[in-house]
């Protein structure tokens, strides 16, 4: 079984937890807008917390078994923490034992972009967000049926919305209309 590899990128900026950053403050974060986002790394660096920037834009990797999503069994949708693009449904998540949240199928064909990654002397397939091209992780051919794929994703670049929370928001918005 192939495993994700651990690497870190260096930076002198202090770490900020993504949970403390308001998504509304980012001009590109939207769970409804599907238009492509194309910003320079300097612009991303101003918008993103250090830990998210290091993984999403510098293709870093968070430490294994540190993601709050790795063992999560909540029902809902996983989004790109950088731009809000829908990436995975929780019913495609499985415990791969690799130390990172793993999924066997993206939410749609356009939610993910695939790129060749030959870094560190390995041949892998990188997965990026289909909207903002942020690095998410890698995909391997050792996952469960029905796809046989294992999308090994850095939890720091994921947002999650529970299905019940989404339903409540939807119902509240329809009452106002």
Count the alpha carbons within 13 Å of 146 in the hemisphere toward its beta carbon: 4
How high is the pLDDT of residue 25? 65
Is the pTM higher than 0.75? The answer reads yes
Give the residue with greater pLDDT, 44 vs 26: 44
**Tokens, residue 95:** 């415990």
Distance CA 31, CA 39 (A): 18
Render pLDDT for 52-85 as a digit per residue (tens, 0 to 9).
Answer: 999 999 999 999 999 999 999 999 999 999 999 9
Q: Which of 4, 80, 129, 152 is catalytic?
A: 152
Q: Higher confidence at residue 131 or residue 15?
A: 131
Sequence-distant (≥ 6) Cβ neighbours of residue 12 within 8 angstroms: none
d(CA 64, CA 168): 33
Q: Where are the domains of the chain?
A: 18-176
pLDDT at 11: 37
Note if 4 is an active site residue: no
The answer to whether domain 18-176 has CATH 2.170.150.20 is yes
The 8-class DSSP code of residue 167 comes to H
Q: What is the mean pLDDT of residues 150-161?
A: 97
* Cα dihedral sign, 32-33-37-41: negative
Structure confidence by residue, pLDDT tens digits, 99-152: 999 999 999 999 999 999 998 899 999 999 999 999 999 999 999 999 999 999
């Amino acid at each position: 079984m192939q495993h994700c590899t651990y690497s870190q990128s260096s930076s002198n900026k202090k770490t900020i937890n993504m949970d403390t950053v308001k998504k509304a403050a980012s001009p590109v974060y939207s769970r409804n807008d599907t238009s492509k986002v194309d910003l320079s790394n300097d612009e991303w660096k101003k918008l993103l917390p250090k830990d998210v920037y290091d993984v999403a834009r510098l293709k870093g990797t968070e430490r294994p078994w540190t993601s709050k999503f790795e063992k999560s069994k909540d029902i809902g949708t996983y989004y790109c923490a950088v731009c809000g693009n829908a990436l995975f449904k929780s019913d495609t998540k499985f415990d791969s034992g690799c130390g990172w949240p793993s999924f066997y199928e993206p939410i749609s064909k356009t939610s993910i972009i695939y790129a060749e990654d030959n870094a560190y002397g390995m041949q892998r397939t990188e997965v990026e967000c289909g909207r903002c091209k942020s690095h998410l992780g890698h995909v391997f051919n050792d996952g469960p049926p029905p796809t046989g794929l294992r999308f090994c994703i850095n939890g720091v670049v994921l947002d999650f919305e529970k299905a019940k929370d989404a339903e409540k928001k939807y119902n509240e918005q329809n009452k106002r209309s």
